[in-house]
Structure 1
Amino acid sequence: MSVLPIHYAEVEAIYNQTIGSGYKTLAVTSAIAGEGKTTIAQAIVERAQIVGKKVLLVEMNTFNPALSEQLLMSMNNHVAENEIIAIESKGYSLLPAPQNIRDVLQYRESKFLLAAIKRWLVDFDCIIFDTSALTSLNQSNIAAEIISEVCQGTILVIEAGRTPASSIQESIEKLKNKKVNLIGSVLNDKSNPSLLVELQRESHRLNWLCPVLMSKLRKKLASTVLLNVSI
């Protein structure tokens, strides 16, 4: 799982439209698995705690509980069920994904979730939910739209060039049916090559004709400020 620096303009924009605008509960979801929603959720959490907010990150991704697995490994599995753990190195707290079917069934109930949120907000300024993907279906899954329904806002993470249009449409329909407040979408372009990479790749095709010139061109492209701006 990659780490997204909190000083990125994209993180600041997401934060300002969500927690920075007064949202106390936020769900971060995606159309399919592996689109980077956990990375986005962590970045928002860390950005919030930088300004002194007490933040709780709740992992509801039972399909791939990456955060919980990391925590359990670091603590040698010595974590009680439903125990909120303070991650001192990060400055926030984490509630690991539920591990048994009884807890999963409870979290599928809106009333139970709302009651839990009310309790958590006594000790925390805001709560970020890292959900499973909207199209992930299995018997131990907590549907992302159920979690999104009880949150003040939701952001949808989509990976450019990878997520099928049909999955995006299905995900949006699920959120609409639950009358979720979809704040916006985050486009993850990690699988899309940058313009710099594409130009350099194309230059290699002309190596047979003028290798020295193409080598100089690639160096020039690499030093062009506009082509090296992270977006």
Structure 2
Amino acid sequence: MKIPPCNMEIEQVFLQLEQQECRSLCITSTNSGEGVTSLAQALTERHLLAGYRTLLVDLNLQNPSLTALSFITEPQEEKDTRPHYLALTLQDNVVLSGLPIPTDKADMMELRQPKNMKNHITQWLTEFDKVIIDSSALSQLQVDSIPAQTVAASCDGTIMVILSGQTLQTEFKAAVESLENNKANIIGHVFNDKYHPSLKNELCREIERLRFLPNRLSTKLISMINNNRFLSTVV
């Protein structure tokens, strides 16, 4: 699912991150398929629009979203090289500066260590203003995965995505407790209303289905609904 970077909800999350002065951000969820990748890509695009050099890092080994277009190494000093990846988002063919998932097992094992993860993030931040990490779900603790808890604890802040009407409360509480035990800084929760749309979204969708309405009228009605303060507070 593609989320426009200028979406109102994305703007609210972006402004919150600005207030927190968050340079490295981990985005995760309780279970896979809750919308982490869509949010990570939208926030990356929003930061780019704001003029930030932003790196999108894909550490979701179960559901990778980036593929390398090219690999360039620019030597800075003798015995010192810095890899730069040009990555392509598979969902909508938007080209972003990104790091696709590590394919070497040794690299994966290295990133499982909190100290090494922090060192990598520190290195990335010498070349970029912001680092956004698309992490695996907290429930996916597997040998061949990089634990989201490790990633979250290494970042300035963490956002959890919750799929409304699907994520169990007991699972969510366990996921939050796991992050807190690893001393992660949870700065917010984003609710994905894909299966639980708000009243405002439902009204707009019904208007769009009324094909007999002139485009000018339907556009005006949708604008009025989106700008209605009362409907913005109704779930």
TM-score (norm 2): 0.77
Q: Hey, what's the Cα distance between the residues in 1 that align with 2:33 and 2:187?
A: 21
Corresponding residue of 1:86: 86
Which structure shows the higher strand fraction?
2
Unaligned ranges ≥5, structure 2: 73-81, 204-209
RMSD over aligned CA atoms reads: 3.3
1:108, 1:142 within 8 Å by CA — same for their partners in 2?
yes
Percent identity of paired positions between Structure 1 and Structure 2: 34
Q: Hey, what's the Cα distance between the residues in 2 that align with 1:55 and 1:195?
A: 34
Within 5 Å, which residues of 2 pair with 1:129-140?
129-140=133-144
What SS does the corresponding residue of 1:18 show, helix, strand or coil? Answer: helix
1:33–1:225 Cα change, 3 Å:
same
The reply on whether 1:125 has 2:121 as its aligned counterpart is no
| TM-superposition CA deviations, 1:94-145 (whole Å, max 9, x none) | 0111113211110011111111112111111110111000011222111101
Unaligned ranges ≥5, structure 1: 200-215
1:170–1:52 Cα change, 3 Å:
same
1:79–1:24 Cα change, 3 Å:
same
Query: Following superposition, which runs of at least 4 residues in structure 1 exceed 6 angstroms of deviation?
Result: 196-199
Partner amino acid for 1:167? E
1:83, 1:95 within 8 Å by CA — same for their partners in 2?
no
Partner amino acid for 2:124? W
The reply on whether 1:229 has 2:226 as its aligned counterpart is yes
Q: Hey, what's the Cα distance between the residues in 1 that align with 2:134 and 2:100?
A: 10
Corresponding residue of 2:46: 47
2:31, 2:139 within 8 Å by CA — same for their partners in 1?
yes
Q: Hey, what's the Cα distance between the residues in 1 that align with 2:192 and 2:119?
A: 33
Q: Hey, what's the Cα distance between the residues in 1 that align with 2:111 and 2:134?
A: 13
1:139–1:193 Cα change, 3 Å:
same
TM-score (norm 1): 0.78
What SS does the corresponding residue of 2:189 show, helix, strand or coil? Answer: strand
Which structure shows the higher helix fraction?
1
Q: Hey, what's the Cα distance between the residues in 1 that align with 2:3 and 2:96?
A: 16
Instruction: Provide the aligned length of Structure 1 versus Structure 2.
Output: 209
